[in-house]
């Protein structure tokens, strides 16, 4: 991605979302476009109009954290958007030497982490990297995401490709539009945090070329972080499930993330998870049919 274009599109889109009333300033004169004028953002942030114009044109190289935070306050960015702005600013600088030469490859999972994953017998769980490649999953995780793994005999499997390119995804996710749009926002966060990862850029290009919804939502510049929440599924074997998800970062293995799904015991979804475990246990060689490369 072109960093300057990304910065320009992000700042312009955020500025368009803030009205003078929301910013607490008088709305003088007619306005040809929605949102604040550049001069109004500059005044709120405490910088010159010329300086803010340079920033909005995409030049964030060398901008201090204090200025970025002032922009975030002026544009009323939330924590996720603010972090994204800082990522864009870091990406505006030169790539570290090791990043220029390092071959991007699938992240390795330490044996101890695999043992932890295998020990999580009561909850679906899997490990993904920042490209949303599913690198490992426990048997219940494989069972929950059976439609995603159905066409693949080996890991990794990319959850973004499944969401946008697999015809079974919309049936699997009853709230597909919401799920897919948040996925786009999460991918944008990853792209800003890893701007020199060519495999990640190739994934974004592929999804943009092959999916109209992806292109539309990508252009919206929204960002999202999957920390915790509720996701709904329509599983082909056990029916509807409403599961709470948690994401657990692995600090020593960044950028790997463990994702788990749970349900309150005694609820329909809790009973559904128990049924899913029974279904998984009946599958022949459920823990070895999909093996890491």
For residue 9, the domain's CATH number is 1.10.260.40
Distance (Å, rounded) from C-alpha 81 to C-alpha 185?
10
Is 103 contained in some domain?
no
108-115, long-range: CB < 8 A, 24+ apart: 109/135, 109/136, 109/253, 109/256, 109/292, 110/253, 113/250, 113/253, 113/256
Alpha helices in 150-251 (DSSP H): 159-165, 169-172, 176-193, 198-210, 212-219
If one counts the domains in the chain, the total is: 2
Q: What is the pLDDT along the chain (293 residues), one digit of tens a residue?
A: 688 999 999 999 999 999 999 999 887 777 777 799 999 999 999 999 999 999 999 999 889 999 999 999 999 999 999 999 999 999 887 665 554 434 444 567 889 999 999 899 889 999 999 999 999 999 999 999 999 998 776 789 999 999 999 999 999 999 999 999 999 999 999 999 999 899 999 999 999 998 789 999 999 999 998 889 999 999 999 999 999 999 998 877 668 999 999 999 999 999 999 999 999 888 754 444 454 44
Residues 23 and 127 in one domain: no
Which position has the token pair 């070329």? Answer: 209
Is 271 contained in some domain?
yes
Residues 192 and 282 in one domain: yes
pLDDT value at residue 33: 75
Question: Which of 67, 93, 119 is a domain's end point?
Answer: 93
CA distances from 282 to 143, 172, 203, 277 (A): 11, 21, 35, 9
Residues 32 and 129 in one domain: no
Residues 164 and 219 in one domain: yes
Is 190 contained in some domain?
yes
User: Nearest 5 degrees, angle CA 169-CA 255-CA 257?
Assistant: 50
Cα–Cα nearest to 220, from 169, 185, 255: 185
Question: Which of 32, 66, 93 is a domain's end point?
Answer: 93
Residues 148 and 269 in one domain: yes
Residues 56 and 176 in one domain: no
Question: Which of 35, 58, 93 is a domain's end point?
Answer: 93
Residues 48 and 166 in one domain: no
Beta bridge partners of 232: 242
Residues 25 and 165 in one domain: no
Is 127 contained in some domain?
yes
Residues 156 and 14 in one domain: no
Is 188 contained in some domain?
yes
Residue-range definition of the domain harbouring residue 224: 111-292
Is 104 contained in some domain?
no
225 CB burial (10 A radius; 0-12, 13-18, 19+): middle
Is 85 contained in some domain?
yes
CATH number of the domain encompassing residue 159: 3.30.450.180
User: If you write DSSP's letter for every residue of 28-93 in order, what string do you get?
Assistant: -S--SSSS--HHHHHHHHTS-HHHHHHHHTT--TT--HHHHHHHHHHTT--HHHHHHHHHHHHHTS
Residues 6+ apart with CB under 8 A from 151: 166
Cα–Cα nearest to 45, from 65, 69, 16: 69
293 CB burial (10 A radius; 0-12, 13-18, 19+): exposed
Is 100 contained in some domain?
no
Residues 86 and 146 in one domain: no
Residues 59 and 179 in one domain: no
CA distances from 27 to 73, 99, 157 (A): 19, 47, 51
Residue 151 has φ and ψ, to the nearest 5°, of: -95, 5
Residues 122 and 194 in one domain: yes
């Amino acid at each position: 991605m072109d960093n300057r274009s990304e910065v320009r599109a992000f700042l312009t889109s955020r500025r368009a979302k803030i009205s003078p009333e929301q910013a607490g300033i008088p709305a003088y004169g007619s306005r040809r476009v929605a949102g604040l004028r550049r001069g109004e953002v500059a005044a709120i942030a405490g910088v010159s109009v010329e300086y803010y114009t340079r920033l909005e044109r995409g030049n964030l190289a060398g901008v201090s954290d204090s200025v970025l935070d002032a922009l975030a306050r002026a544009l009323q960015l939330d924590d996720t958007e603010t972090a994204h702005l800082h990522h864009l600013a870091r990406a505006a600088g030169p790539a570290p030497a090791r990043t220029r030469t390092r071959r991007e490859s699938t992240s390795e999972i330490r044996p101890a982490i695999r043992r932890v994953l295998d020990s999580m017998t009561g909850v679906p769980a899997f490990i993904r990297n920042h490209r949303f490649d599913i690198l490992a999953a426990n048997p219940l995780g494989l069972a929950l995401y059976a439609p995603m793994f159905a066409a693949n005999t080996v890991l990794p499997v990319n959850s973004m490709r499944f969401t946008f390119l697999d015809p079974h995804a919309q049936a699997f996710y009853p709230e597909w539009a919401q799920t897919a749009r948040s996925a786009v926002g999460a991918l944008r966060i990853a792209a800003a945090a890893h701007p020199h990862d060519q495999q990640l850029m190739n994934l974004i290009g592929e999804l943009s070329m092959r999916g109209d919804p992806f292109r539309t939502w990508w252009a919206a510049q929204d960002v999202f972080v999957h920390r915790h929440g509720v996701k709904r599924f329509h599983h082909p074997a056990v029916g509807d499930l409403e599961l709470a998800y948690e994401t657990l970062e692995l600090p020593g293995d960044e950028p790997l993330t463990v994702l788990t799904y749970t349900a309150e015991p005694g609820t329909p979804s809790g009973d559904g998870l128990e049924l899913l475990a029974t279904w998984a246990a009946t599958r022949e060689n459920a823990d070895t049919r999909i093996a890491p490369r």
